[in-house]
């Protein structure tokens, strides 16, 4: 996993003070990283339009123009002039070389956005909005310097943003790159070093980006084993019984040794899934909430008060009874609307979904600070998993999963790992990665996934 930071100005300052690096050195490495990407991926003589703002993000772009000049057909566009000392210095250097400074957007093969970067802290004015809209219309490969212009420091987009094919971010990953709003704009993300390797540039963080290697699958390497070795999951099926059945199938396919569905009515289950009317004596994990609908409160209280590892989903996020489970090790898997309901129930915040989506990291952090034992998996374009002070980002999510039943599969995957003895955090991380990676491996049309397809893909991981 990789570290993510809320801001990197303090990391830049540390480079100046501890390693005797200068602002000029850091900027030279920033521009060199973009130049190397262009040189390694495009033929000589391609036209490169570099659009620069007034500050140091613009200065990075002006330095990039100098590094590409003569090998590429460089067009430098500085619509608002320059203000920062570094931008003025870089402009002096390109003027001495004789780089072509253009007065308007022109056709190009590559366009590099160096307008605002990660320092944007206010809404774009009409002129900047129009400029970015016109850049997005260009039939060109689009590169963003540090962060696509129009995305704020918390990842919010209030008007428009540059639609990058790749974002080359400087020094370290920033939290603003991983908001749900930003996902359609950042493209591929690469990190440039700024004169020292990332291990030296970065300090401690409580935010982490998950890699595929962080997924720990429940492979069976013990030969002296039987079905009980891999646990017994109980899934509580409610009035919408299909949700519980989907979760049960997913858990079984992800390694649970035994799976029983708790339901007081006889239901049609696959031959390998059992039915029971109460918690099994040898139960090692519980899944409850998905499709629950109407329920007997006392019965749910008994289930939630048990010390058995539990995943809670869906309908229970609207009910006070869930408060009984927040002082122990459980996994919660709400989507944004459900999380807003949970925030209200717990007295943390009374907000709507748009407000949550503007700053998902903030509200997740507030919840996890109040309930440090709980693992909360917040669904979205980027999945956020929080426990206590730490937040983990799964950026592998895709629109393939925007189908009914996908969340029930996720609940089943988490439950299946809890059943086999994974900690709540490890179960949430590995199940979430399996869920999203399996969806990305699905080869048919991206609108056609059904829950059983997703379970089949998980089996192939």
Question: Given the DSSP bridges, would you call strands 390-394 and 383-387 parallel, antiparallel or unpaired?
Answer: antiparallel
State yes or no: 56 annotated in a binding site.
yes
Cβ atoms of residues 154 and 176 within 8 Å: yes
State yes or no: 121 annotated in a binding site.
yes
State yes or no: 58 annotated in a binding site.
yes
State yes or no: 335 annotated in a binding site.
yes
State yes or no: 294 annotated in a binding site.
no
Q: Could you tell me the sign of the dihedral formed by the alpha carbons of 72, 75, 80, 84, in that order?
A: positive
State yes or no: 117 annotated in a binding site.
yes
State yes or no: 243 annotated in a binding site.
yes
State yes or no: 118 annotated in a binding site.
yes
State yes or no: 119 annotated in a binding site.
yes
Strands (E), 63-193: 73-77, 101-102, 110-114, 141-145, 166-170, 173-174, 188-192
The Cα–Cα gap between 393 and 259 comes to 30
Cβ atoms of residues 72 and 43 within 8 Å: no
State yes or no: 128 annotated in a binding site.
no
State yes or no: 244 annotated in a binding site.
no
The Cα–Cα gap between 143 and 113 comes to 6
Q: Which of 223, 155, 171, 169 has the alpha carbon at shortest distance from 15?
A: 171
Burial class (CB in 10 A: 0-12, 13-18, 19+), 98: exposed
Give the N- to C-terminal CA distance of the chain in Å, as an integer: 19
State yes or no: 211 annotated in a binding site.
no
State yes or no: 125 annotated in a binding site.
no
Coil, strand, or helix at residue 185? helix
State yes or no: 408 annotated in a binding site.
yes
Coil, strand, or helix at residue 231? coil
Coil, strand, or helix at residue 87? helix
Q: Where are the alpha helices (DSSP H) in 334-445?
A: 336-345, 353-358, 360-370, 406-419, 424-441
- For the chain, give the number of residues: 461
The annotation places the binding site at 56-60, 113, 117-123, 146, 149, 243, 291, 335, 407-408
The annotation places the binding site for (6S)-NADPHX at 56-60, 117-123, 146, 243, 291, 335, 408
The annotation places the binding site for K(+) at 57, 113, 149
The annotation places the binding site for AMP at 407
């Amino acid at each position: 996993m990789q570290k993510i930071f809320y801001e990197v100005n303090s990391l830049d300052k540390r480079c100046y003070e501890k390693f005797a690096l200068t602002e000029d050195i850091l900027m030279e490495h920033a521009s060199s990283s973009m130049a190397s990407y262009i040189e390694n991926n495009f033929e000589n003589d391609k036209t490169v339009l570099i659009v620069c703002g007034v500050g140091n993000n613009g200065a990075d772009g002006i330095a990039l123009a100098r590094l590409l000049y003569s090998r590429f057909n460089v067009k430098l566009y500085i619509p608002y002039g320059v203000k920062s000392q570094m931008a003025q210095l870089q402009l002096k250097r390109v003027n001495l070389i004789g780089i072509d400074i253009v007065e308007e957007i022109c056709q190009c093969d590559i366009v590099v956005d160096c307008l605002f970067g990660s320092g944007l802290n206010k809404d774009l004015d009409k002129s900047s909005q129009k400029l970015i809209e016109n850049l997005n219309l260009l039939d060109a490969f689009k590169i963003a310097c540090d962060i696509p212009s129009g995305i704020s420091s918390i990842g919010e987009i209030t008007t428009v943003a540059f639609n990058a094919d790749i974002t080359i971010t400087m020094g370290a990953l920033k939290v603003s790159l991983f908001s749900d709003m930003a996902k359609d704009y950042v493209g591929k993300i690469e990190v440039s070093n700024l004169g020292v390797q990332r291990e030296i540039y970065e300090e401690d963080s409580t935010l982490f980006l998950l890699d595929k290697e962080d997924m720990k699958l429940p492979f069976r390497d013990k030969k002296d084993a039987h079905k009980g070795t891999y646990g017994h999951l109980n899934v509580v099926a409610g009035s919408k019984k299909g949700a519980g059945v989907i979760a049960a199938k997913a858990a079984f396919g992800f390694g649970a040794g035994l799976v029983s569905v708790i339901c007081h009515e006889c239901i049609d289950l696959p031959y390998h899934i059992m039915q029971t009317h109460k918690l099994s004596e040898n139960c090692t994990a519980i899944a409850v909430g998905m499709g629950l609908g109407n329920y007997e409160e006392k019965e749910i209280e008994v289930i939630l008060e048990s010390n058995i590892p539990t995943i809670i989903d869906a309908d229970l996020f609207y009910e006070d009874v869930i408060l009984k489970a927040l002082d122990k090790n459980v996994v919660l898997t709400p989507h944004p609307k459900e999380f807003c309901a949970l925030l209200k129930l717990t007295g943390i915040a009374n907000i709507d979904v748009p407000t949550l989506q503007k700053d998902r990291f903030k509200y997740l952090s507030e919840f996890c600070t109040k309930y440090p034992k709980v693992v909360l998996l917040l669904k979205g374009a980027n999945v956020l998993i929080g426990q206590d002070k730490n937040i983990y980002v799964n950026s592998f999510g895709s629109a393939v999963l925007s189908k009914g039943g996908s969340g029930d599969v996720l609940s089943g995957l988490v439950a299946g790992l809890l059943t086999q003895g994974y900690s709540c955090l490890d179960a949430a991380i590995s199940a979430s990665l399996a869920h999203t990676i399996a969806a990305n491996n699905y080869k048919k049309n991206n609108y056609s996934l059904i829950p059983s397809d997703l379970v089949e893909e998980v089996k192939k991981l």
